Amino acid sequence: MAAQNNAPLPDGLEIAGYRIVKKIASGGFSIVYLAYDGEGNAVAIKEYLPSQLALRAPGELAPSVSKPNLPVFRIGLKCFFEEGRALARIVHPNVVRVVNFFRAHETVYMVMAYESGHTLQDHIARLHAKGSRMGEASIRQLFNGVCAGVREVHANKLLHLDLKPANIYLRSDGSPLLLDFGAARQTINLDAPMLAPMYTPGFAAPELYSRAATLGPWTDIYSIGAAMYACMTRSMPPPVEARKEEDKTGAQFARIEGSYSPELIEMVRACMALDPLARPQSVFSMQKVLQAAPTLAPQPVSEEAPARAGGWRGLVGRFGVKRKASN
């Protein structure tokens, strides 16, 4: 079924104690709204609405799901809801805070706390436009925080499954926040092979494209390594299929030798191993490398501090944005 353009909920709608202000993001699996709770606090509300399975016409509140798509829609709905429940139990400074989740209009909603800042993807692009990139100290500090958040997620028997710079949010003080978990998408892809993969080429581990492969912490570790690769090389990591034909990451790593310490480059290289067994098996082992002092001081890299701006546009612009393999 081809993706459709779903009508958002109307501005001003009262739903479960929240008032919808406006739609601020939409994508293949969800629509995100700016809303206010009963005390006037701003929140982001993410609505489960997979465009390949459901259609909502203007003026309607509940989506229309055809009978053939109903089983898969319900599986994804259940997973989305369970994911919200699981995330609501996680209270960690590096994981987006889910403050509520509820059912309404024949679908489910996840309510997330407001944060001010912008995505790592935006930060990389800003530096690239100035001919610069992140230095080693900044990368070590940032990804130590990312690993801390992922470690807490894994401790709660969850996987992120969609780690990439667009889903790593930088607060105004530069500390990272993990956004947009992909468990519901993973379940839908497993149960509905006719749907296109919704992962981002370059950041998705090889096992995400195989129904027979086992997923685990090593799957997220690949994506963390790919995100670090993007920061260090200022380029997109090559997709898995392209790497299987001709792996050009080695040439990129060679270009940045001297700009980063050998152990940091080697850790990123190991994280991006196509063989899951060749990767670090826990984010804790990554943190030990990131927290250790470099044995060889890298050449200084000029960079700017994270900008203090973004607000809602920066934060929620990446909640639920479509992720097709063709992106």
**Quick one: 144 and 262 in the same domain?**
yes
CATH number at residue 77: 3.30.200.20
Q: Which two tokens stand for residue 121?
A: 């993807």
Tens digit of each residue's pLDDT, the chain (327 residues): 455 689 999 999 999 999 999 998 787 788 989 999 999 999 999 999 998 899 999 999 999 999 999 998 998 888 888 878 888 889 999 999 999 999 999 999 999 987 778 899 999 999 999 999 999 999 999 999 999 999 999 998 888 888 999 899 999 999 999 987 765 444 444 444 444 446 789 999 999 988 888 999 999 999 999 999 999 999 999 999 999 999 999 999 999 999 999 999 999 999 999 999 999 999 999 999 999 998 776 666 655 545 444 443 344 333 333 333 333
d(CA 57, CA 53): 14
**Quick one: 219 and 86 in the same domain?**
no
**Quick one: 174 and 257 in the same domain?**
yes
- pLDDT tens sequence across 65-102: 999 999 989 988 888 888 788 888 899 999 999 999 99
**Quick one: 267 and 146 in the same domain?**
yes
**Quick one: 94 and 134 in the same domain?**
no
**Is the residue at 323 inside a domain?**
no
CB 231 within 8 A of CB 139: yes
Q: How many residues can be counted in the chain?
A: 327
**Quick one: 207 and 241 in the same domain?**
yes
State the total domains in the chain. 2
CB 83 within 8 A of CB 141: no
**Is the residue at 316 inside a domain?**
no
Point out which residues pair with 22 in neighbouring strands: 34
**Is the residue at 308 inside a domain?**
no
Domain final residue pick, 99, 114, 129: 114
Domain final residue pick, 97, 114, 131: 114
**Quick one: 222 and 150 in the same domain?**
yes
**Is the residue at 34 inside a domain?**
yes
The residue with tokens 């996987």 is: 159
**Quick one: 110 and 236 in the same domain?**
no
Point out which residues pair with 19 in neighbouring strands: 14, 36
- pLDDT tens sequence across 211-231: 888 999 999 999 999 999 999
**Quick one: 141 and 262 in the same domain?**
yes
d(CA 176, CA 155): 18
Angle between helices 120-129 and 217-233 (to 10 degrees): 20
Q: What are phi and psi of 161, to 5 degrees?
A: 75, 5
Reported pTM? 0.82
Question: SS3 string of the chain?
Answer: CCCCCCCCCCCCCEECCEEEEEEEEECCCEEEEEEECCCCCEEEEEEECCCCCEECCCCCCCCEECHHHHHHHHHHHHHHHHHHHHHHCCCCCCECCEEEEEEECCEEEEEEECCCEEEHHHHHHHHHHCCCCCCHHHHHHHHHHHHHHHHHHHHCCCCCCCCCHHHEEEECCCCEEECCCCHHHHHHHHHCCCCCCCCCCCCCCHHHHCCCCCCCHHHHHHHHHHHHHHHHHCCCCCCHHHHHHCCCHHHHHHHCECCECHHHHHHHHHHCCCCHHHCCCCHHHHHHHHHCCCCCCCCCCCCCCCCCCCHHHHHHCCCCCCCCCCC
**Quick one: 170 and 267 in the same domain?**
yes
**Is the residue at 297 inside a domain?**
no
**Quick one: 73 and 168 in the same domain?**
no
**Quick one: 133 and 103 in the same domain?**
no
CB 124 within 8 A of CB 118: no
The residue with tokens 């992922």 is: 150
Owning domain of residue 211: 117-291
CB 265 within 8 A of CB 254: no
CB 224 within 8 A of CB 271: yes
